[in-house]
Structure 1
């Protein structure tokens, strides 16, 4: 008997095998097949293939054991392969361990099962065991061993396998050849992949599509779209995967126009083609294009898969397109999509980022399979809405289910504490992360702690925290301190932080602007002009502010000072009306938020052109009375706009929801949920 592999633990079967009761008719048939019918192997294999669950497979296996048929290599191979389909790879390993005389068929099934279930190291270990037992691998062995070597990024192992393939004379087997080229592509050795491709005698014949696709995909992965396009045009024949590979390559480098051109040239598109486009547009920042592509996909009758739905929901979340997100939710519900972990998490994220935190919570509760990401998204949702109590409760509930928090969850918890001023509690979580969970804080965690101290006005503690950090603070950490100095008008510390920021990021516009604003706030106009001159001479430009608002399913974007919208005249008229009404109730434009020294009237005009105000005015004239208005902004909302939103919510008797780069603000009846702590 061969020795058991080092990676497995010995196990003995009980004297009496106890199984779930096997259906009487099936058990009788099994007995008949094993004793009377000479083709009993075929019948058992047909039962194995008919299994729908691992539990059913175990019942069949029990009958095989009871009838002393477990040493049939044919049956064992089928058992292992079926276990792999059910993702029950550990059960497959047990079956393999107790097969006494393994051959290449059984080993191939085991190596394949491990590789397909991402147990790549274990797959390689079984291959090594196969060699030690002097069982010769064949052309069915190597594709999955090569896949494992590529997944482990083991270049040395990959080259050694290549040598062995040549020695065994299977290098020109089509499946092995493609796997070799694919391995070198994934090992980022494109030159070797191309050399193998050029040396393949069958490459210019029909039926070699897979080989061409692998090489085109390799060129696309490294960004050589010129060569990829040349290969694509030279192919003897193409299939949908050929087009998808090249389209994905152009999307990867951000050339959406070329990707669209190829996509619409495709003679036949499948769900992967559409999903590639939806995901590609979203990943490249064209979220409106992603949603348009998704809706067009539905119009032509192509049913999306989970990945398509998640990509579309992600686009909705990025631009706050709630109506589009709700329609997608309705679609997946009506089409019978299972609310699995992936779709459930995407829906929670969409609702949270579109301002419907209650809906996010409801979907979260309905999602039965929750992993760490699902919990993280929900905690983040509560945090960015300023609901610290709910975020902390969710965190404790997650831990009670046995899921261990990671650095992302702790970042969400620290953010929740920061937005609610829970300084001491935040410090406890920060220490717990390090000492109780052995999670080393990242720059983001340190930034959050500086923000936590800074928002609360504890600037000296924030500076002391920075000075005691074990890592060198970057410009983001100094930026967090700088923002706190801006809010609490600590000019001396702001100058220190600004100096540090400009040393690290000389062209970072935010530091110049914030410093100029601080000087303007105390009337130091010479310093304001000095900062503006430095910005001009250094070629530093202010990042433009933009805002999105969705009306009747269409997303409208505005930039600061925008006059290009079709309703620009009505928008300006509504803004004037808002300002006049707000003034009558005590509103005074906060001109401290204007960058430079100009006349008061000009300052007020500059404030009035902020993108969120333009989006607000458009929302008021374009939606029915009483309907909530939702705005997404790419920068932090300024103090004057924050003040105007409060007055506007009271005058219009509406809820106004603004998502800026930091958090959500829910304005209602003249107040904001942030309680002016932002």
Structure 2
């Protein structure tokens, strides 16, 4: 007895010799059974279980049903499914307990077909399945997406008379929901006689999840409102449903009304807000969560880091990184990828690279994030080197990582390398290019001035071209002053998407380039008549952990007057050093002085001015913009880096621009 007790406390002293006196110390079969089951439950590793199994064989207890059931369950818990199957096969007279244990274990180890096969084997042996058998076979059927199998199982459940068991019924409804046959789940729900009992709350929650998954949030709300009692899972499911629908207002309302919140509630909100592009609110909620003493889990920090990445909120990202370290979160692949992505998108590519190197397990997403990060920072050679490293480790590329590689080539004008990777993707890896890949190739030709080649490439594309492909060619035409081809391209854009604001803006800009102001007004009048508005440019800047958003011509900020004063001061100083506003970027039939005023209100300039008045000397200024930076703003940023003695890091939709001492890392090639 003393030896058995000691085993539960010190696992490394477990060995076969310790059980040599077991048969004499445990006098009755019942005592032996009880102690061996206790021993199995105390095991910490698969190896310890194997040693216990050896003693069971020595003591002729391997055919004890209760012990064998517990042993199989424990082995499957430790993912030793082959050993569990071996015990099952050597059991002479299996019963429902043995079968239930192996069926559940196979499901939990993702061996869904095998789980169903053992259920069939059970029927062949004429062993009756019970209420504990069906739930895991139903889950396996759902995982296999086998509707006919699910219906057959439903028939077996009716035949065995366990269809009204709450455990079985919930599993049955859940199976139909996961198989995409919500109507059968709703029918079962309606036919459930005791669904208003408190113990049936899980059934209601499954239906709410099913309706939300099916996109019928109204039906989910109807069920939610009719519930006799709700638990925190009920509220979380509804919030998640509203978030997936994009109804942030109702999600926020429910969250505020919740009588009790858990970490899943907060995580659902933060994740949903981030996925709906409301990253500022996501981070505000994350801070509030910490203030209320709720501890984030892995999913929470990953979602918060994602929001930081999108906003360029480095300060908050660093705090989350510190929290992860302090709380000793395991640096698994998901958290590691989120950290790498955050630092890469916040302009700390070297830091991202260090974390990437520390990841014990790098999946395809890890490599894609890192390659894309190098590409955005203009480090094309490193991006291509990392791609080669990825291939050498045996990771098979997909269409997304090839897009990152082509982007790296495009940002550095590597036409030959880009063509090589484009052909390799198709020929070596049998990956069918998407419209995004074709767009990247058009951009690659266009940036290097090969406009005719770009047009020929578009004409050779085997899939239907879209607005983005032709938009890439238009940008190249405008950059290289090819008005004739740009006008042709813009008209094509207007044909493809007549109501897309970009189509009208492109055409208006082309007419403005050649001074056809009547045509400019005609296009803009058409936009106004059709209710088409150009989306405004905006920029983010983080100061002391708070993200500030500026829109072009913005006067809404509480320090707007100081911002414009600082911007005017900066522009005046820049002029003395040679800066001249590039009014070509304002395509209106207005006087030059008005054009300069229009340029002065671009969102990235306002964010820059705010950064200069809100941070101490020497602090790096980081700005994120939702559009491609214009040439005039790019020029002013270079002068501003000299005048302020600051490093200015601007991330636009294409890449990073790091301004220092009057020079940008893009080499004026973007």
TM-score by length of 2: 0.93
How far apart, in 1, do the equivalents of 2:450 and 2:24 lie? 84
Tell me how far 1:526 sits from its aligned partner: 4.2
Give the secondary-structure state (helix, strand or coil) at the position aligned to 2:36. Answer: helix
Tell me how far 1:517 sits from its aligned partner: 2.5
Structure 1, 68-77 or 268-277: larger mean CA deviation: 68-77
Count of aligned pairs: 657
Deviations 1:501-521 (A, max 9, x none): 222211122233233323333
Structure 1 pair 475/56, CA: closer, same or farther in 2 (3 Å)? farther
Counterparts of 1:40-79 in structure 2, within 5 Å, are 40-61=32-53, 63-64=55-56, 70-79=62-71
Deviations 1:210-245 (A, max 9, x none): 112212222333344444334333333222112212
1:547 aligns with 2:536: no
How far apart, in 2, do the equivalents of 1:166 and 1:483 lie? 65
Structure 1 pair 137/318, CA: closer, same or farther in 2 (3 Å)? same
Deviations 1:240-270 (A, max 9, x none): 1122122222222223232223223322221
Structure 1, 170-179 or 516-525: larger mean CA deviation: 516-525
1:331 aligns with 2:323: yes
Aligned pair partner of 2:187 in 181, 195, 198: 195
Deviations 1:90-109 (A, max 9, x none): 55445545555544333322
Unpaired runs of 5+ in structure 2? Answer: 1-10
Tell me how far 1:36 sits from its aligned partner: 5.9
Structure 1 pair 661/61, CA: closer, same or farther in 2 (3 Å)? farther
Give the secondary-structure state (helix, strand or coil) at the position aligned to 2:163. Answer: coil
How far apart, in 2, do the equivalents of 1:121 and 1:380 lie? 38
Structure 1 pair 142/675, CA: closer, same or farther in 2 (3 Å)? same
Deviations 1:274-330 (A, max 9, x none): 111111221122212111111121122221110011011111111111111111111
1:300 aligns with 2:289: no
Structure 1, 345-354 or 514-523: larger mean CA deviation: 514-523
Structure 1 pair 409/234, CA: closer, same or farther in 2 (3 Å)? same
Q: Which residue of 1 aligns with 2:450?
A: 458
Q: Which residue of 1 aligns with 2:19?
A: 30
Structure 1, 112-121 or 293-302: larger mean CA deviation: 112-121
Aligned pair partner of 1:357 in 345, 349, 359: 349
Q: Which residue of 1 aligns with 2:4?
A: none
TM-score by length of 1: 0.92
How far apart, in 1, do the equivalents of 2:648 and 2:12 lie? 62
How far apart, in 2, do the equivalents of 1:427 and 1:91 lie? 51
Structure 1 pair 140/594, CA: closer, same or farther in 2 (3 Å)? same
Counterparts of 1:265-664 in structure 2, within 5 Å, are 265-664=257-656
Tell me how far 1:34 sits from its aligned partner: 5.3
Structure 1 pair 203/365, CA: closer, same or farther in 2 (3 Å)? same
Q: Which residue of 2 aligns with 1:11?
A: none
Aligned pair partner of 2:197 in 190, 205, 218: 205
Counterparts of 1:100-119 in structure 2, within 5 Å, are 101-119=93-111
Deviations 1:615-635 (A, max 9, x none): 111111111111111111111
Q: Which residue of 2 aligns with 1:4?
A: none
Structure 1 pair 592/94, CA: closer, same or farther in 2 (3 Å)? farther
Structure 1 pair 661/46, CA: closer, same or farther in 2 (3 Å)? same
Structure 1 pair 444/80, CA: closer, same or farther in 2 (3 Å)? farther
Structure 1 pair 545/94, CA: closer, same or farther in 2 (3 Å)? farther
How far apart, in 1, do the equivalents of 2:86 and 2:447 lie? 57
Tell me how far 1:662 sits from its aligned partner: 1.3
Counterparts of 1:3-42 in structure 2, within 5 Å, are 26-33=15-22, 37=26, 38=29, 39-42=31-34
Aligned pair partner of 1:166 in 155, 158, 163: 158
Q: Which residue of 2 aligns with 1:251?
A: 243
How far apart, in 1, do the equivalents of 2:508 and 2:133 lie? 68
Tell me how far 1:186 sits from its aligned partner: 2.1
Contact 1:666/1:672 (<8 A) preserved: yes
How far apart, in 2, do the equivalents of 1:91 and 1:513 lie? 67
Deviations 1:156-190 (A, max 9, x none): 22222111110111101110011111122223333
How far apart, in 2, do the equivalents of 1:506 and 1:634 lie? 23
Structure 1 pair 72/441, CA: closer, same or farther in 2 (3 Å)? farther
Structure 1, 601-610 or 514-523: larger mean CA deviation: 514-523
RMSD of equivalent CA atoms: 2.2
Tell me how far 1:460 sits from its aligned partner: 1.8
Contact 1:516/1:596 (<8 A) preserved: no
Contact 1:549/1:631 (<8 A) preserved: yes
How far apart, in 2, do the equivalents of 1:431 and 1:75 lie? 60
How far apart, in 2, do the equivalents of 1:503 and 1:66 lie? 82
Contact 1:513/1:595 (<8 A) preserved: no
How far apart, in 2, do the equivalents of 1:53 and 1:439 lie? 43
How far apart, in 1, do the equivalents of 2:364 and 2:98 lie? 36
Q: Which residue of 2 aligns with 1:137?
A: 129
Deviations 1:325-354 (A, max 9, x none): 111111111111111111111111111111
